[in-house]
Every structure is written in structure tokens, then in C-alpha cells.
Amino acid sequence: MSDFSRRDLAKLGVGLVAGTALGGPALAQAPEWKIQPEKGASLRVMRPAKFVQGDETLFLENTAKYEKMTGVKVRVDSEGWEDLVPKSAVAANVGKGPDVVYGWHDNVHQYPDKVVVLNDVANYLGSKYGGWYDLAQKYGKKGNNWISIPLGASGSKMVYRKSMLKAAGYDAVPKDFPGFLKMAQDLKAKGTPIGFALGNAIGDANGWCHWVLWGHGAKMVNEKDQVTLNSPETIAALNYVKQLYDTFIPGTLSWLDPSNNKAFLDGQLSLTANGISVYYAAKTSTDARLKEMTADIEHASFPIGPVGKPSESCSMVPAYVFKYSRYPNAAKDYIRFMMEKEQYEPWLEASIGYWGHPLKFYENNKIWTVDPKHTPYNSVIKNALWLGYAGSLGYASAGALADYIIVTMFASVASGAKTPEQAAAEAHKRVERYYKI
Amino acid sequence: MATAALNRTGSIVRKPLVDLLDNRNVLSVICMAPAAILLLTFLTYPLGLGVWLGFTDTKIGRPGFFIGLENYISLFDDSVFWLVVFNTLLYTTVATVLKFGLGLYLALLLNNHLPFKAILRAIILLPWIVPTVLSAIAFWWIYDAQFSILSYMLQKMGLIDQYIDFLGKPNNARASLIAANVWRGIPFVAICLLAGLQTISPSLYEAAALDGATPWQRFRHVTMPMLMPILSIVLTFSVLFTFTDFQLIYAITRGGPVNSTHLMATLAFQRAIPGGQLGEGAAIATAMIPFLVAATLSSYFGLQRRKWQQGESDG
């Protein structure tokens, strides 16, 4: 905190990469927070159901703490991940329901007019906690206004078995695409194949397919929302996946989100892409076999493709406040409260790395170093692009994503049903249907 | 009318309200009103709204504008939509035929005098009683690429070398889902037809036996015609349920791989809710209506033709 220039730069707030530029963000002097909850306020909060127990426990504990400190009554409803989207949409449409929603990535960009502008919350948090990552800003802002405050994101990393890689002659996951393919082929030859989901798995399949697509420099749309999918880069990505798919464990075309977790924990997979939940499940299991596997599980960032920069994706969870709420100030105050160090750090730690942080300050949290296996998940938000890259977020990006256009494109080439050229042309046409508006 | 006449004679004096309630027309309107209001509120209005949404570009969180047939024109050009129409027709046809064949067979078996008849009949109903989502999850495991019990057993028996890719190949996935749907649907058909079988008077069979009819002739000329009315109703319902199936698909494949198991209902949901394109989703749902009406009319009227019921041949 004695570093004068660092603190001042960080104070400039949102959008500045000050922290990273100077080697690690620090806590800036707290700006003043003036918004007080309305008298007699009560809040209804909707959030995604827990995936790791610690997440929910601490979230509720923090909420109880808030109730005690402010006297505001807060009810938290946990919704299944897939129910959250329609429920939030219905609330937006009918103008009734929860005051605060912790929803999925671009949901709020489909109804930006229905939510309260949260610039005060974002600026306060950003300047206090070393600034927001670029991706957090992309998801949080519409134009110049913050319409949501990212709570965190769950993202995938390469999850692998050290012993199996070693047996195939690898100490670590190669850092480039050709090296990664070669490793996958060697693993297959050893009878310990890799596997990524290619069914309609909203999280897993989208995650790794976009990584390969973006890694080759291809994108669904450009910055002006013009469809650019049918390109030589996309064909290259499809050819790469065709080769990669030949090394997969059988059946990945039918995989949904839980499938790779099950196969990995059963010992059938040498490598897959997943959140930290596989490791967490093994670590906390009472099964002796899984306990043994824990030591053998390692994590790594996704290899970097020809494009030369990380091209991962993540599932962002932003909080937003509907305009119909009778207590917008209480809602803002609650969201701020949950992001403050005193609450956020215990929550981050209890989630043991399942949620990545959107504010740079939390990069230094001990959860990322207490177990070296957590460390790769530190960069979930830092390394990721948004689903809908490089265009804007909104109806078109949400529609294209929900329709599994990118996943289907890769799956149809992997299965041999289509050539890369056919698949790219067809997917291009499907994307255009959404972006014509 | 009767009250009016009485009044003219002056023999009975009545209050106007009572008069009003005695009026047949008024009374019938009052008695019908609750049913009509229920139908209008819960059936006609949502249906009308759905059809209307299909003609708009409504998005989640944004009211739409009337755009005429644009959604339909856009769907007409969408290869996924046509694939899904094909999937739905295939799914409905194959599943319905199988459900009826097997359901009728089961009903005939159960109609015989079997030991533990009541228990057997109760057991038959089980697949239908289990919540769909539960049975869907069970099937999801049965068809799992890595943990399939079927593949495991076949492999142990030495019949296959590697696990069957039940849900990974388009046609396998379609067949697997149809099998799951048939398993779920048979009890409904079987129990309904069994009820129908039991209403057939034994004297008809006795008469047929006296005339020297073979078992096949008895089935063809007594059972079938007598069963036709209930068969047509059950068929209509079964087609409707199958055509609009959602849960099995959504829990087992989400419409994958490569959209090969998407049905119109799942696609409508996918585009309307997670995708936010309410107008287009409504258009897909509305596009189901002609198919449903056609299926209903053909199974209902086709099978209810009098000739069939009287045991005459079609020609």
C-alpha cells in the first residue's frame, strides 16, 4: 500500500489494467460508498444452484451477515442452472419476481432496458479492488453503462492424469495446437484416450469448441456483428478437430455436461476440459480409489492456438437489479456488500476455485496458491473471451449460442456427416439468421 | 316461455329474478358460462396468444411487432427446421405403431385368465406411473457411452467388442429414444385397450364359436370391430402425446447429436426460451398444429367409420 503510483493508478478505476501492468493489483484506498438501503426494505435474490457446497454455504452466511448489519430482509432462492434463464426472462417480461438475479452470462443483454444502471456499484468496486478484467467489463456493460455486476465465472481448464501423460512421454500439456494433437495421438496409442463433449452440452461442448475456433483466429462475427464464420480459419479449426476427434474415447458425440466428469472419475480418460469440480469430487470422496486418483489429477491452461493469445471461454455469473424492484438501493448495496473483501474472500475460498474472480485484486487470494492445482483456475476470467466474440452481446449472440450452431458445426465434421467446407457454409447460414436483425 | 304464459293468466305471481332464471335461454347461458370462461381463459387465450406471437418478432424482454409470415418464411429456409419436422414425424409414426402393436398384444394376453391377474395388471402400469424425468434419467444411464448396462452385458456375453454408441450416432440415437418412448407408452395403450376388451360381451364370442370361427376370425370380426371406438380414441391421444414429447429428449440428448433427435417441441423451447426468440419459437410450436389436427382427424374419423365397426371389409 506504500506504492503511491500504483494506488493512484488503481484508483482511476474501471478499465485500467494498472494492476497487471505493475505486477499485481493492490487494494486501493476505499472510495466512499454513499448508497443506503431504503427503510424497511426486503429483497428477493435468485441465484444458480450450488455446484460445490462451500459456494452456497458462504453465500447464505454472507447474506445473513448483511441482514444482521442492515436489517434488510433477504430471501435467496437457488434455481437449477437451466431454469434460471427462463425464470429471469419471465421476470423481465412480466415485471414481477426477484429484485436481484445472479443470472448467466449474456441473459441481461437481452433485456437491458429492464434493469437498473449500476455504474455507481461498478465504479466503487472497480476503483477499490484493482479494476475489472476486460471480460468482466464486456459482460457487465452495455455501451457506457454497467447493467450488471459480475460475481464470478466458472471456467474450464485441461484436467489430466499425470501418470497417463507421463506414460505417453509428456511431463505437461503442450502449449500449442500441433503439440496438443500429437499428445492426444500418443495417449490414444497408449490406450488412455482424451475426450471432450460434442453433444448438446451447453457448458462443456461450447467451452472447448470455441477455444479451437478462436484459437485458429476464426470468429462467428466480427466487431461490427457481421457474420464471418465461413472462413479459411474456421476450416482449419474444423480440420484440426477432425484429427483430434479420432483420438477421443468413443461416444463423445452423445456427451452432455456431466458425461466427462463420470468417465474421468471412472479412470477411463487421460484428459478432458472441465471446471475444478472433477478434482474437488475426487478430493472430497470417501472412495479409496478416488482418493488415490486425487494426487494424480493435474490442471493446465488451454494450449494457445495459431492466433497467439489465450482463447478460452467461461460461464460468467453477473448480478442485475430489475427496475420493478421497490428497493433498488438495497439491491445495489447488497450486491456491493457481497463483492467486498470481507465477504468475497471467504466465499471464493469456500468455492475452492470453482468460481473465478472478476476483480483483479482477488488474483492474490490464497485459494489460488494454497494448492498448486488450483493455480490454473486463477486466470479463468483473464484468459477468456465472451461467447459471441468478437461481436456484441444481445439477442443474436444468445440465439446463436442456444441453438448450438458452433457445437453442431464441429460435431457434424467430427462424425464425418459433413466436410469442413459444408459444415462451415451451413453454420454460416444459420448464424446469419440471427444476426440479420 | 312457460312462466310468461302463467303470468298472463295471473294465477301465479313471481319475482322478476326467478322469472329470469326460469328462462331457458338465460339459464343455459348461466350454466355454460363457467365452462366457457375456463376454456377461453386457459385454452383459447393461450393458444391464440401463441399463434399471434408466431406472427411477431417478439423477443424475451422486448415486445414484438407484427411481421406477418416472416418467421415462417425464415423457418422454411432453415434446414434444421425441416430436419426437426422429419425427426418428429419419424418419431411419432414409428413409436405409435410399435406402441399399438405391442400394447394390443399385451392387452390380449392380459385379457386371458392368468394367475395373479390383478398384480400383473398393476405391474404393467409401472412404466407409465414413474415420472418421465426419472425414467429418462434411467434410460440416459442405460444408453451411456461409457457406463451402459446393455453394452456391458453384451460385451460380457462376448457378443460385441466395444460399447454400442447408442446416442452418438444419429440413427442409433433416434432408435434409442423411440425405444424409451415405446417403453413408457405401452402401458397406457395396453390398459386402455384391456378396458375396451372387457366391455365386449362374451356372447358374441360364443356365437362366433358356434358358427365355427377360428381364433383369427374371432379376433378379426369380433374383437377388432368392437374395439375400434376405444382404439381410435387411444390412438388419437397417443399420437398427440408422442408428437409433443419433450421430457425424454430434453433429458437424454438435448436434441443432439447434430440435431438428429430434436423434435418440434424441443426446438421450439430451445429457440424461444434459452435463445430468447419468442416469436420464432411460437412459430415452430404453431407449425405443429396442422400436423396435430391432421393426425387427430385421420385417426379419429378414419377408425370410427361405421363399416369397420360392423366388421365389413374396407373395400
Contacts of B273 in chain A (CB under 8 A): 85-86, 89
Q: Which of B25, B54, B83 is the last residue of a domain?
A: B54
Chain-chain contact of A402 with B78 (C-beta, under 8 angstroms)? no
Contacts of B80 in chain A (CB under 8 A): 403, 430
Is the distance from CB of B303 to CB of B232 less than 8 angstroms? Answer: yes
Q: What is the mean pLDDT of residues A167-180?
A: 96
Contacts of B168 in chain A (CB under 8 A): 199, 250-254, 415
pTM, to two decimals: 0.86
Check residue B107 and give its pLDDT: 92
The pLDDT tens digits for A276-330 are 989 988 988 899 999 899 999 999 999 999 999 999 999 999 999 999 999 999 9
Check residue A24 and give its pLDDT: 53
Q: What is the mean pLDDT of chain A?
A: 90
Instruction: Report the residue of chain B nearest A402, measured CA to CA.
Output: B275
Check residue A11 and give its pLDDT: 43
Check residue A4 and give its pLDDT: 42
Q: Nearest Cβ partner of A402 from B59, B74, B275?
A: B275
pLDDT at B10 exceeding the cut of 70: no
- Sorted by sequence, the CB contacts under 8 Å of residue A275 that are 6+ apart come out as A51, A154, A155, A156, A157, A354, A377
Instruction: Say whether both B46 and B95 belong to one domain.
Output: no
Check residue B26 and give its pLDDT: 86
Q: Whole-angstrom Cα distance, residue B271 to residue B257?
A: 17
Instruction: Say whether both B49 and B93 belong to one domain.
Output: no
B13 within a domain of the structure (yes/no): yes
Q: Which of A385, A404, A421 is the last residue of a domain?
A: A385
Instruction: Say whether both B111 and B40 belong to one domain.
Output: no
Q: Nearest Cβ partner of A254 from B257, B276, B277?
A: B257
The Cα of B252 is separated from the nearest Cα of chain A by a number of Å equal to 9
The pLDDT tens digits for B91-134 are 999 999 999 999 999 999 888 888 888 888 888 888 888 888 89
**Is A33 at the interface with chain B, CB within 8 A?**
no
pLDDT at A19 exceeding the cut of 60: no
Task: Identify the H or E element spanning A299.
Answer: strand A297-300
Check residue A376 and give its pLDDT: 94
Check residue A10 and give its pLDDT: 42
Least confidently predicted of A108-112, A416-420, B60-64:
B60-64
ipTM over the 0.85 cut-off: no
Check residue A269 and give its pLDDT: 95
Q: Is the C-alpha dihedral spanning A349, A353, A359, A362 positive or negative?
A: positive
pLDDT at A208 exceeding the cut of 60: yes
A13 within a domain of the structure (yes/no): no
Instruction: Report the residue of chain A nearest B275, measured CA to CA.
Output: A399
**Looking at per-residue confidence, does A63 or A1 come out higher?**
A63
Instruction: Say whether both A282 and A422 belong to one domain.
Output: yes
Chain B residues within 8 A (CB-CB) of chain A?
Answer: 57, 59-62, 74, 78-80, 143-147, 162-163, 165-170, 173, 253-259, 270-271, 273-277
| Distances in whole angstroms, Cα of residue A192 to Cα of each of A244, A272, A398, A420, B260 | 14, 12, 36, 27, 29
Instruction: Say whether both A245 and A322 belong to one domain.
Output: no
Q: Which of A385, A406, A426 is the last residue of a domain?
A: A385
Instruction: Say whether both B84 and B48 belong to one domain.
Output: no
Chain-chain contact of B256 with A399 (C-beta, under 8 angstroms)? no
Check residue A52 and give its pLDDT: 82
Per the structure, how many domains does chain B have?
A: 2
Q: Nearest Cβ partner of B74 from A111, A402, A433?
A: A433
Domain at A246, CATH number: 3.40.190.10
Check residue B311 and give its pLDDT: 52
Q: How confident is the model at residue B11 (pLDDT cuts 50, 70, 90)?
A: low
Q: What is the mean pLDDT of chain B?
A: 87
Instruction: Say whether both B105 and B131 belong to one domain.
Output: yes
Chain-chain contact of B60 with A111 (C-beta, under 8 angstroms)? yes
B60 within a domain of the structure (yes/no): no
Instruction: Say whether both B49 and B81 belong to one domain.
Output: no
Instruction: Say whether both B202 and B247 belong to one domain.
Output: yes
Identify whether A153 is preceded by a cis peptide bond (ω within 30 of 0).
no
A95 within a domain of the structure (yes/no): yes
Q: Nearest Cβ partner of B147 from A114, A253, A262?
A: A262
Instruction: Say whether both B87 and B202 belong to one domain.
Output: yes
Task: Identify the H or E element spanning B269.
Answer: helix B264-272
The pLDDT tens digits for A68-91 are 999 999 999 999 887 888 889 889
**Looking at per-residue confidence, does B302 or B262 come out higher?**
B262
Instruction: Say whether both B3 and B75 belong to one domain.
Output: no
Residue with cell 430471501: A75
Range of the domain at B24: 1-54
| Distances in whole angstroms, Cα of residue A288 to Cα of each of A207, A244, A267, A292, A338 | 31, 33, 13, 6, 37
Is the distance from CB of B292 to CB of B240 less than 8 angstroms? Answer: yes
A420 within a domain of the structure (yes/no): yes
Q: Nearest Cβ partner of A253 from B79, B257, B271?
A: B257
Domain at B157, CATH number: 1.10.3720.10
Range of the domain at A126: 40-155+313-385
